[in-house]
Structure 1
Amino acid sequence: MSRTPEPLRRAALPVLVALALTGCAPDAPGSPKDTPSTGTAEKRTTSVRPESPGKPESAASPTHVTIASIGVSSTLMRLGLNEDGTVQVPPAEKGMTAGWYTGGAVPGERGAAVLIGHNDTRFGKAVFHDLRKIGKGADIAIRNDRGAEIHFRVTGTETVGKKAFPTEKVYGSTGERALRLITCDGAFDPQGHPVDNLIVYAIRS
C-alpha cells in the first residue's frame, strides 16, 4: 500500500484496514452481507475512511447523473459513513439508484467527487451494470439542486483486485475537478463475492 497522505493520517475517526472502495467487498463489521439469490450475489461497498474535506456551505448538492453512452440515468442519494468507518452504499432494493459520497468533493468543485453504484443485486441488474462498457472521452453529466448541469470527460478506467484498492488515488487530494465512479467487476470467489473493482476516472469538461 502506498504511503498514507497527511490529511488521512489526521482523520478523527479510526482508520480500518483497506478492503475495497467499490460496489463489492468482503464482509466487514457494520456492513451488509452479500445476499445470494437466484445465482446472483448482492454487491456493496466497504472501505477505509477516506479523506473527507466536507461539503462547502456554498456548494450545490448533486441530484442526478446521466451517462448517455451506456444508458445510465439515475437520481443520486447521499452516502456517508457507517459507524465502523466504512463507506455506505445504496440499499439493494434501490439498486438502480447511484449514490454520492458526501465526505468527498462536490462534483464540479476542486477535489475528487465519488459516485458509488451497484453492478447487480439480488433483484437483478443495477445502475452501473454496464459501466465496464464506458469509453475514454465519454460524457458524464451531473445535475445539481440548483438546476445546473456539470459535464465530465472520462479519462480512463481501472480494474483492481479488492485487496489492492488504490485508496489514495481514488479518494486522495487532487487539484483537479475530478470524478470517480465505482462499482464491482470480475469473477466470484468461493463465497460468492466479486473479486475485482471497476473504477472510472473523469475530469470536468
Structure 2
Amino acid sequence: MRRLTNLAIAVVTVTALCSGAWLVRSGGETHAPPQPSAAQARTQPTHPESIRPESASPALPPSPPLRIRIPAIGVNAPLVGLGLTPTGSLDVPPAEREDLAGWYEAGTAPGETGTAIVAGHVDNADGPSVFYRLGALEKGGAIEVERLDGSTALFTVDAVEVYDTKDFPDEKVYGAAKRAELRVITCGGRYSRSTGYQGNVVVFAHLTGSRIG
C-alpha cells in the first residue's frame, strides 16, 4: 500500500461531507447537530510533535480497520477505505449509507504510530448520519477501532473542537505524531441554507490500550 503523509489531504478539508441537505428539508437550525463546547477544547500542547510518545500505550502493528465504536454517542459503524479525489481532497463514504464511516487508507492505520484519519457524514438528505452526534462527545470518552488482525485499538478522547473551514488548522489535525493518534472528522459549525455547514468538528484521541477481539 502506498504511504502518503496526511498533509497530502490538508489542502481541502472534507467539504463533501457538509451539504446539510436534511437541515434544508427539515427546518434548518431546529435540527442542527450538537456542537462541542469550549470546555472540550485541548488544554495540553496542540502541536502533535510536542506530545510525548510515552504518554500513551505502545503502538500496534499496521492493520486495516474494520469498524469504529463510540459508545457514548451510539456509534457502531463499519469502516471503508477512502482515497483522494482528483482535486486532492479526502474522498467520502457514499452519502446514502448513513451507517458507514471511512478511513484514509493511504495514511496511518488506527493503532499504529502516527495520525490516523476517520471521516463520516453528519447527515444526508433523509436524516442524521453516522457522526451526527460527534460534537456531543467529551474529553475522556472512549473510541474503539476493530482491526483486521483481530485486535481492537482503544483510544481516549483528548479534545473535541470545531473550526470554520477558512480557519481549519491543517498541521494540528493532520500533522505527524510520535505516538498512535486518531482524528475523527465530520461537518459542523455555522450553517447556511445556501452553502451547508461552514466548518468541521474534529475529535482528537490517542491510543491507551488494546485487546484481542
5+ residue gaps, structure 2, are 29-60, 209-213
Identity level (%): 34
Residue by residue, what CA displacement relative to the aligned partner does 1:136-173 show, whole Å, maximum 9, x if unpaired? 11110001112111100000011100111111111111
Distance 2:98 2:84 in 1: 18
Partner of 1:39 in structure 2? 25
State the Cα distance separating 1:183 from its structure 2 match: 0.4
Q: 1:21 to 1:92 in 2, by over 3 A?
A: closer
Give, as a single letter, the amino acid of the residue that structure 1 aligns with 2:162.
Answer: T
| Alpha carbons 2:64, 2:147 under 8 Å: kept | yes
Q: Which of the numbers 137, 140, 144 marks the counterpart of 1:141?
A: 144
Aligned ranges for residues 170-181 of structure 1 at < 5 Å? 170-181=173-184
Q: How many residues of Structure 1 are paired with residues of Structure 2 in the alignment?
A: 170
Distance in 2, Cα, partners of 1:161 & 1:82: 22
Gaps of 5+ in 1: 1-6, 26-33, 42-57
Scaled by the length of structure 2, what TM-score is found? 0.72
Give 1:196's aligned residue: 199
How far is 1:176 from its partner?
1.7
Deviation per CA, 1:85-143: give whole Å up to 9, x if none.
11100111112211011132111111100100111111210000011111111110001
The one-letter code sitting in structure 1 at the alignment partner of 2:125 is R
Deviations 1:26-81 (A, max 9, x none): xxxxxxxx47356269xxxxxxxxxxxxxxxx721000001111110000010000
Higher helix share: 2
- Distance change >3 Å, CA 189–CA 182, structure 1 → 2: same
Give the TM-score, by structure 1 length. 0.75
Larger RCO: 1 or 2 (CA < 8 Å, sep 6+)? 2
The separation in 1 between residues aligned to 2:146 and 2:176, in whole angstroms, is 23
Give the structure 2 partner of residue 52 of structure 1.
none
Q: 1: distance between equivalents of 2:6 and 2:152?
A: 31
Q: Are 2:88 and 1:102 aligned?
A: no
Give yes or no for the alignment of 1:84 onto 2:77: no
Is the contact made by 1:162 and 1:196 (CA closer than 8 Å) also made in structure 2?
A: yes
Question: Residue 70 in 1 paired to residue 56 in 2?
Answer: no
2:85 alignment partner AA: N
